[in-house]
Chain A
Amino acid sequence: MRALTWQAPNKLQVDTVPDPEIINPRDVILRVTMSSVCGSDLHLLDGYVPAMKPGDILGHEFMGEVVEVGSGISQFKKGDRVITISIIGCGDCEFCKRDDFSCCDNSNPNPQVTDLAYGQPCSGIFGYSHAFGGYAGSHATYIRVPFADVNLFKVPDGITNEQAVFVSDAAPTGYFGADNADIQRGDTVAVWGCGGVGQMAIRSAYLLGAERVIAIDRIPSRLRLAEEKAGAIVINYETTNVHEALLELTGGRGPDRCIDCVGMEAHGTQLDYAYDKAKQLMRLHTERGTVLRQAIRACRKGGTVSVLGVYGGLMDKFPMGAIVNKALTLRSGQQPGQRYANKLFEHIQKGELDPSYLLTHPMSLEESPRGYELFKHKGDECMRAVFMP
């Protein structure tokens, strides 16, 4: 089959690689019909993650058609149109049983890296480095999905592929961030970052009862979409003092809930990497830490800061004082999309959510290196490039 592979930092190429096979009884093989880029791919691309190996297939946000089913799977059959949640759950461990699928204990076949870096092993993620399991990603003709009974969801009739593909990651991530923010009716919510996840977080905040959502970014096309499609009040941080603007917009109180959809763009911590390498890694990304600091500083007393953006290691100058003295709640996590997929499909069917506008650049798989180029540099008003193998 054909697949987009990582070869070296900023070097991607489309290769012919072996087709995946059913390995375990609960596996399903999909023929990928749509596979989206994601902001979190960018630090894999840039080589900031040491757990990448030449030949690794990228991509974790995707949908497809079932072509082969393992002996332990009865819910799906050949031809089903499905999406996959990008963070893999097993459905059987302590965490999956309480719907915290993204904390799955069993889905990472390579648990020692995160075990050492974070204290406990983290779940597996498609196409997301060997620290998160070394699973082949979805920018390929076919993909093997483990624990398919837990991670696959049939797309209901009346929902287009362009809408459905984002229920794999961007939509549940945004929804999870808003859910974690503990939004009360009438709240003002501030969302940092107007990429795919940010757009979904804005929409989800409204669905969960926010009265106003304020969105912060610097790219005019993204701010325009946040305003027109998601209904946000927008702030361009390149032209406006964000802290002052947020206070002015909230009668001096600060937003009730703050959602960080930017992150630090540095997630890799492989163990054998020496301390100074980690330092170097972080130094490249200190700027990104400003979003979280800004959110903590702006948030009203007793409010909630919900962190979705990818953080990987250690943060310098973390404003713990503001958290303590303003009695803030800090919540975070990778998205447990298995919890939300069917609910999101319902919102789409009722016309309350339409993620399809995120798809600005449909492309063939062969064009995918150019797709990443556009996405990375936000060229041609690219929100999301989506490959159709």
Chain B
Amino acid sequence: MDQSLAVMLTIITAATPLLIAAIGELVVERSGVLNLGVEGMMVMGAVAGFAVAFMTGSTLLGVGAAIFAGIAMSALFGFLTLTLVANQVAAGLALTLLGLGLSGLIGEAFVGQPGVKMPTLFGIDALVPFSLLLTAGVAYVLFRTKTGLVIRAVGNSHSSAHALGYRVIAIRYLSVMFGGACAGLAGGYLSLAYTPQWIENMTAGRGWIALALVVFASWRPLRTLVGAYLFGAVSILGFVVQSMGLGIPSQFLSSLPYIVTIIALVIISGNKRLTQANTPACLAQSFVPDR
């Protein structure tokens, strides 16, 4: 019993960063912007969170720094894609490459340093209940309030929203920065709670898995929750199987989350009813207001 509880806890810890990052990206994509730079924002959040917590000894300041780093990165992306209408796919890749490079340079001084671990409640990190509240909050705002309606309108038809007098670019900026804050926080969770230390490229593709999760959840917050826990379980499965000593090479178990992501994408994307009805119609399309 004790062991299964421990496994449950590790699944939750593995799922939480995915959930936070995916929920943020979900809002971004609902507003019609595809930010492929989640990995870059996340890794910057991880290094900023670690660095500040290490220097001040306060995880709260660390979390603040992680969020700030994510927002700063996303604002850069916003400037590029919303103000300068650059290609969103390319700009997202640029954000990831820049984030990975910059975090490696900044984090070099912190490699091997002991980290500061976030306080826990009953063995659960403080950010776990927060991630659940965040999911519920986003689900409520997106589908039960006027704000959510406006965000989805901007994502589904930017010209109509513009014609109705909504400030498409401003709304998208805010959504993108919300996504940045979430990605930064998810990164901070990795370096402050999941493995409290700094390792280069420590996000290890989680930002990309979060992106896949949004598609997997067909842009629905509560399905994102289910998906994140499913992926958390898959990534922990590897450790559990390994501890049973079946002699399966660890590399195969480590590659499971990536393979499962691909399989999940294939299953969901083939289902037109799920994807086409929910995909924001203006996803990844640039908008330049008429004058």
Are chains A and B native binding partners rather than an unrelated pairing? no
A residues apposed to B, CB below 8 Å: none
